[in-house]
Homo-oligomer: A and B are copies of this chain.
Amino acid sequence: MSVTASFIGEAQKFCMALIVQKYGGTSVGNTDRIKNVAARVAKYHAQGDKIVVVVSAMSGVTDGLIKLAKDIAPLPSEREMDMLLATGEQQTIALTAIALHTIGIPAVSMTGAQAGIVTDGVHTKAKIHNITPQQVHTALDAGNVVIVAGFQGETAAGQITTLGRGGSDLTAIALAAALKADLCQIYTDVDGVYTTDPRIVPNAKKLSEISYDEMLELASLGAKVMQSRSVEFAKKFGVVFEVRSSLNDNPGTIVKEETKSMEGVVVRGVALDKNQAKVTLVGVPDKPGVAAKIFKALGDATVNVDMIIQNISHGTGTPATDISFTADKPDLLKAQKVIEGLKKEVGYREVITAEKIGKLSIVGVGMKSHTGVAGKLFETLANEGVNIDMISTSEIKISVVIDLAKGEQAVKAVHAAFIG
């Protein structure tokens, strides 16, 4: 071997990266799309990168399986649902490997278990305990692209588990951490994370980067690019990842630890969550332990409560107060039942519910070091004639509950005021 050839060999070795790519259900929704995924993987493979591909079930497959199970039982066993649903991803990995073979790329598929993803035994929402990816390493070292089934794992005792909603993102990020990947790409049907919903504000901008904390706030605020726990996991293990589109070659949004430069931007994004409902208990006796009773009972019933406000009491006589909270709209009936069950124990006067509300939020790590943000938000809304019903704040977020009918108008105005 000549010196030059040897040098080039070294250089290539140096440039070679280990990349984890995740493709969601839409990106692998039919055989043509699976071929597209293979073509994209091929481009990275041609650069000499080692590639691990995490895929979801083809869109529609999981719903079809759930329908079959519900045809048999309204509340099927969670262990058996995991056994059933894990097949969806297993089908995609095989098909993706086959698609890579047809374009001449060596590839091998692995179930979550085969990839070494060990979880606890909480079926349908298992947590990853650890990852022992020896088989993945061996297959990569042999020159293969490795296709791993997202959303699933196995307990130490060999039971098949699934990770719950957004589980494939979690698989990708956890694998990227375990494999010490150079890059983790989450391919989806949007180009990245935007300053707001481009369907509402046409000049919404795609963000080139965002901090884990901002992404977390946005994820929990109706900008449903990713589930919070995947972002939390990435933050915990310092996995830098990119959210990008599987439909084009545009660069996406890098999600990473907060940097100094990020603080220069006060508001990173504006989100509108139309999926909340509001419940107000009017005339709650103002004595210790009442709020605890109410929210413990809601928690026990797995009602996902978001904002909680305790207002000043109306009227005179016995000291009483109003307590309002918001919850996911599909949980409203469940919440009402819980509250009705507490009527005697808590002794409130009446319950008022509102479904036609929207929660508008502004998010940005820059808020930590900037003042006057809340004032500017409220002023902007006032100028639009938008009434504020509830307010909730965190270090990097301000949320307000407003009339749903004015939601989009408010987003436009707030986006214009803070972002442009």
What per-residue 1/0 map shows which CB atoms of A65-83 lie under 8 Å from chain B? 1001101110011011101
What is the interface of chain A mostly: helix, strand, loop, or mixed? Answer: helix
Determine if A77 and B91 form an interchain contact, defined as CB atoms under 8 angstroms apart: no
Determine if B72 and A98 form an interchain contact, defined as CB atoms under 8 angstroms apart: yes
Stretch of A39-47, A101-109, A407-415 at the chain-chain interface: A101-109
A90 is an interface residue with CB less than 8 A from chain B: yes
Determine if B87 and A90 form an interchain contact, defined as CB atoms under 8 angstroms apart: yes
Chain A residues within CB distance 8 Å of chain B: 31, 34-35, 65, 68-69, 71-73, 76-77, 79-81, 83-84, 86-88, 90-91, 93-95, 97-99, 101-102, 108-109, 111, 114, 135, 158, 160
Task: Give the docked Cα–Cα distance between A135 and B157 (Å).
Answer: 10
Contacts of A111 in B (CB 8 A): 83, 160
Nearest residue, chain B, Cβ from A98: B76
**How far does the Cβ of A217 sit from chain B's closest Cβ, in whole Å?**
37
Task: Give the docked Cα–Cα distance between A101 and B86 (Å).
Answer: 20
Q: How many copies does the complex hold?
A: 2
Determine if A83 and B79 form an interchain contact, defined as CB atoms under 8 angstroms apart: no
Contacts of A97 in B (CB 8 A): 77, 80, 83
Determine if A72 and B158 form an interchain contact, defined as CB atoms under 8 angstroms apart: no
Known: A77-B101, A101-B77. A83 touches B94 (CB 8 A): yes
**How far does the Cβ of A298 sit from chain B's closest Cβ, in whole Å?**
29
Determine if A109 and B95 form an interchain contact, defined as CB atoms under 8 angstroms apart: no
Task: Give the docked Cα–Cα distance between A76 and B68 (Å).
Answer: 28
Determine if A35 and B72 form an interchain contact, defined as CB atoms under 8 angstroms apart: yes
Q: A76-B101, A80-B95 are in contact. List 10 more A-B contacts (CB 8 A).
A: A31-B72, A34-B72, A69-B98, A77-B97, A83-B93, A83-B94, A83-B97, A83-B109, A84-B95, A114-B158
